[in-house]
Chain A
């Protein structure tokens, strides 16, 4: 029985690719190196793709164009990794056409309808109007038609709260999510009586092969550094972060201001960069803010290890997990998250309200407190979870349960 892992793979610049690499290493650690003989990786790659480097050696990646009945056999299991960005369009297309073996779908983003709608209207990856309807039918019934017609008129925030996971829930035999929040939404936001495959909650695979790189010695003159990591996106509340950091800097004695900086590490489109730089300049902190743009993984790790506080806010949320949050947790970096949706279940230094005025004040208070600790050489308080729900099982254990059930 082979496991077909259908996902973007590195170096695709999406969190799912990093997730897959971490997952493969976790499976190898849990099941032994021989498991690689059962793993088949699929992505939209050309013949010159170097393969995925794992802790058990190089694993080849099969081109998605060959995906189909001839490549899979009875007893195999396909695991598809679904998110709401275009790197996953081909996977949604493959799912819509159907796979010849049982499928377990790993849901990274709950809110996927905007992507399905866009792909279907452009007729990409074989998706079309029927798939757009199928995405919504089990959640909205006859109301789906009205939603499809009126979707563009909805406020942007409202669009984030529409799931559109019908292709996954119809085609998969099991679903894996990363929070109890996601599980609850999947189970409750659907027309009564519509089939829903079993949903299980799994822990995000451990980044860094469960052995994070040792923290380098901090340069004695290193500034107090606050950072937001990953794709630059308005939902990450970067405007609030800029305002709060500016307010924090204003409160420092002038001589200390040059000893603090704010960094945005990750891809950012030029329009957003220009707007964010203008915002920072207007707030009087243009010279204290850095935008790195996209960085490779080593540089990402190095930047994270320079952080005294990582800011992982999110509102509205696609309901997704955050790979950069998992990395921060593994690296032991103090991290602040939104007290909202799946993030409420995450261990963090602080969970901030998403009500904008409260959010600003709470973030400013966290930055000030963290800075006070930094100045005194005190460690940050231990992270805590805001939710009392149980911690999820490992991905390996959850996958094993599905393998058992679906065999």
Chain B
């Protein structure tokens, strides 16, 4: 059973939440006996491989010229370029999918003709209700792009109409897909792996980070990809509150991941100096472990976006206090009452964070240990075990529905 897993990024280097989810669902396919064959259609980037369908620099410039429409333009760019089109067709021909497993609806036009063969089964593995997430993000940015939103909705609807199975990250998304006409929907939440190493493999970065931090003041941590909703929430609920006179002045913040680029842009635009914020950029596993080990609180200040957040599961499995918005806890609602977990609306976020007692690190660690039984279900191991027992998933991967 050949399962072509189509995504708009390669999986050679697993960094972002999206990549992690695609990779873990790929393992689910493997586990259920599917012959997984990743297919990446992507903008120009450094980590593409020979098998990936990647735009050249010129096409990439055109695609990226409209930040609100770049995903839609990605499929357009491939369809316009005879060489890329031919490569995609040849690759699909070689992969000979029995199942088309689409991770993004905006890539659907590229494979929809192949799916006219009704013998091929189609899975839409959604990360968000894509059109709603885009519209909400635009609204948050004070922008509109109704044509983009409408086209996204049309593509997502077309994919759902053809899909034998829709996989949703959370119940809210499942309801959104049902409203768009989906009937066979399975809920596979995002999971995480415990963020802190069990051995001392993070000793070196731990020492380096310790040297940069004041042990007398609380340390917060945030990790996120280069994705506007990540940055907007962090900026509005945490970073600006750390300005002199703000409720979080005196707090220290470790930012990890490509979201640091958006933070750097903001620093350039505003000219602010933020000495208590340490932007670590993309980090390796050891540095990430060290940062989580040092953090008194992990912040999840999301104010927009759909799906569920891998960051949330990871934070819940970690040794720190977890402070997030209701959006960040989407899909984890039943865990918001666990020890050391704080679900706070955006307008009270900074004040509530400032009021937390983060001075007793032993107590923080004890609360994290106490919640472990309640959060064990959000590990990838547990999530994938449950998914592997889902009859709708096994049926599609075994030739039925």
Contact check, B161 vs A283: say whether CB atoms are below 8 A apart.
yes
Contact check, A247 vs B161: say whether CB atoms are below 8 A apart.
yes
Bound CA–CA A247/B183 (angstroms)? 9
The answer, yes or no, to whether A243 is at the interface (CB within 8 Å) is: yes
One digit per residue, 1 when the CB lies within 8 angstroms of any chain A CB and 0 when it does not, for chain B 113-154 equals 000000000000000000110010000000000100110011
Contacts of A247 in B (CB 8 A): 157, 160-161, 180-181
Partner of A360, one of B132, B146, B149, B180: B180
The answer, yes or no, to whether A361 is at the interface (CB within 8 Å) is: yes
Contact check, A243 vs B157: say whether CB atoms are below 8 A apart.
yes
Contacts of A365 in B (CB 8 A): 179
The answer, yes or no, to whether A246 is at the interface (CB within 8 Å) is: yes
Q: Name B150-190 residues within 8 Å CB distance of A.
A: 150, 153-154, 157, 160-161, 179-181, 183
The answer, yes or no, to whether A185 is at the interface (CB within 8 Å) is: no
The answer, yes or no, to whether A250 is at the interface (CB within 8 Å) is: yes
Nearest CB on B from A280, distance (A): 13
Bound CA–CA A360/B157 (angstroms)? 10
Contact check, A364 vs B179: say whether CB atoms are below 8 A apart.
yes
Nearest CB on B from A388, distance (A): 27
Contact check, B149 vs A364: say whether CB atoms are below 8 A apart.
no
Contacts of A57 in B (CB 8 A): none
The answer, yes or no, to whether A251 is at the interface (CB within 8 Å) is: yes
Bound CA–CA A283/B183 (angstroms)? 15
Bound CA–CA A357/B149 (angstroms)? 8
Contacts of B146 in A (CB 8 A): 355
Q: Which residue of chain A lies nearest to B132 when distances are taken between CB atoms in the complex?
A: A357
Given the contacts A243-B157, A250-B161, A283-B161, A357 and B181 also touching, CB distance less than 8 Å: no
Given the contacts A243-B157, A283-B161, A357-B131, A250 and B149 also touching, CB distance less than 8 Å: no
Judged by DSSP, the binding face of A is helix
The answer, yes or no, to whether A234 is at the interface (CB within 8 Å) is: no
Partner of A361, one of B149, B150, B179, B183: B179
The answer, yes or no, to whether A356 is at the interface (CB within 8 Å) is: yes
Bound CA–CA A355/B157 (angstroms)? 15
Bound CA–CA A283/B154 (angstroms)? 13
Contact check, A360 vs B161: say whether CB atoms are below 8 A apart.
no
Interface centre among B132, B149, B154, B161 (most CB of A within 10 A): B161
One digit per residue, 1 when the CB lies within 8 angstroms of any chain B CB and 0 when it does not, for chain A 307-351 equals 000000000000000000000000000000000000000000000
Bound CA–CA A264/B157 (angstroms)? 23
Bound CA–CA A255/B220 (angstroms)? 57
Bound CA–CA A244/B160 (angstroms)? 12
Contact check, B150 vs A250: say whether CB atoms are below 8 A apart.
no
One digit per residue, 1 when the CB lies within 8 angstroms of any chain B CB and 0 when it does not, for chain A 242-261 equals 01101110110000000000
Contact check, A360 vs B183: say whether CB atoms are below 8 A apart.
no
Contact check, A357 vs B153: say whether CB atoms are below 8 A apart.
yes
Contact check, B181 vs A356: say whether CB atoms are below 8 A apart.
no
Nearest CB on B from A218, distance (A): 28
Contacts of B179 in A (CB 8 A): 361, 364-365
Nearest CB on A from B400, distance (A): 14
One digit per residue, 1 when the CB lies within 8 angstroms of any chain B CB and 0 when it does not, for chain A 41-62 equals 0000000000000000000000
Bound CA–CA A155/B43 (angstroms)? 32
Contacts of A246 in B (CB 8 A): 161, 181
Contacts of A356 in B (CB 8 A): 150, 153-154
Contacts of A251 in B (CB 8 A): 181, 183
Q: Name B64-98 residues within 8 Å CB distance of A.
A: none
Q: Which residue of chain A lies nearest to B131 when distances are taken between CB atoms in the complex?
A: A357
Contacts of B154 in A (CB 8 A): 356-357
Bound CA–CA A251/B161 (angstroms)? 10
Nearest CB on B from A204, distance (A): 33
Bound CA–CA A243/B155 (angstroms)? 12
Bound CA–CA A283/B179 (angstroms)? 17
Contacts of B161 in A (CB 8 A): 243, 246-247, 250, 283-284
Given the contacts A246-B161, A250-B161, A364 and B150 also touching, CB distance less than 8 Å: no
Bound CA–CA A355/B150 (angstroms)? 8
Interface centre among B131, B160, B181 (most CB of A within 10 A): B181
Bound CA–CA A11/B90 (angstroms)? 60
Contacts of A364 in B (CB 8 A): 179-181
Bound CA–CA A205/B135 (angstroms)? 42
Contacts of B149 in A (CB 8 A): 357
Bound CA–CA A357/B161 (angstroms)? 14
Bound CA–CA A167/B146 (angstroms)? 36
Bound CA–CA A250/B132 (angstroms)? 23
Contacts of B131 in A (CB 8 A): 357
Bound CA–CA A360/B153 (angstroms)? 10
Interface centre among B131, B179, B183 (most CB of A within 10 A): B179
Q: Which residue of chain B lies nearest to A247 when distances are taken between CB atoms in the complex?
A: B181
Bound CA–CA A360/B161 (angstroms)? 13
Contacts of A355 in B (CB 8 A): 146
Q: Which residue of chain B lies nearest to A243 when distances are taken between CB atoms in the complex?
A: B157
Q: Which residue of chain B lies nearest to A356 when distances are taken between CB atoms in the complex?
A: B150
Nearest CB on B from A279, distance (A): 12
Bound CA–CA A247/B157 (angstroms)? 9
Bound CA–CA A331/B179 (angstroms)? 30
Contacts of A360 in B (CB 8 A): 153, 157, 180
One digit per residue, 1 when the CB lies within 8 angstroms of any chain B CB and 0 when it does not, for chain A 230-248 equals 0000000000000110111
Bound CA–CA A250/B122 (angstroms)? 15
Nearest CB on B from A297, distance (A): 36
Q: Which residue of chain A lies nearest to B150 when distances are taken between CB atoms in the complex?
A: A356
Nearest CB on A from B348, distance (A): 30
Nearest CB on B from A362, distance (A): 9
Nearest CB on A from B117, distance (A): 14
Interface centre among A250, A357, A364, A365 (most CB of B within 10 A): A357
Bound CA–CA A284/B118 (angstroms)? 12
Nearest CB on B from A220, distance (A): 28
Bound CA–CA A122/B325 (angstroms)? 64
Q: Name A167-198 residues within 8 Å CB distance of B.
A: none
9 more CB-based (< 8 A) A-B contacts, given A246-B161, A251-B181, A365-B179: A243-B161, A244-B181, A246-B181, A247-B157, A250-B181, A250-B183, A283-B161, A357-B131, A361-B180
Closest 6 CB pairs of A and B: A247-B181, A357-B153, A361-B179, A251-B183, A356-B150, A357-B131
* A/B interface sample: 12 pairs, CB < 8 A: A243-B157, A247-B181, A250-B161, A251-B183, A283-B161, A284-B161, A356-B150, A356-B154, A357-B149, A360-B180, A364-B179, A364-B180
Interface residues of B (CB under 8 A from A): 131-132, 135, 146, 149-150, 153-154, 157, 160-161, 179-181, 183
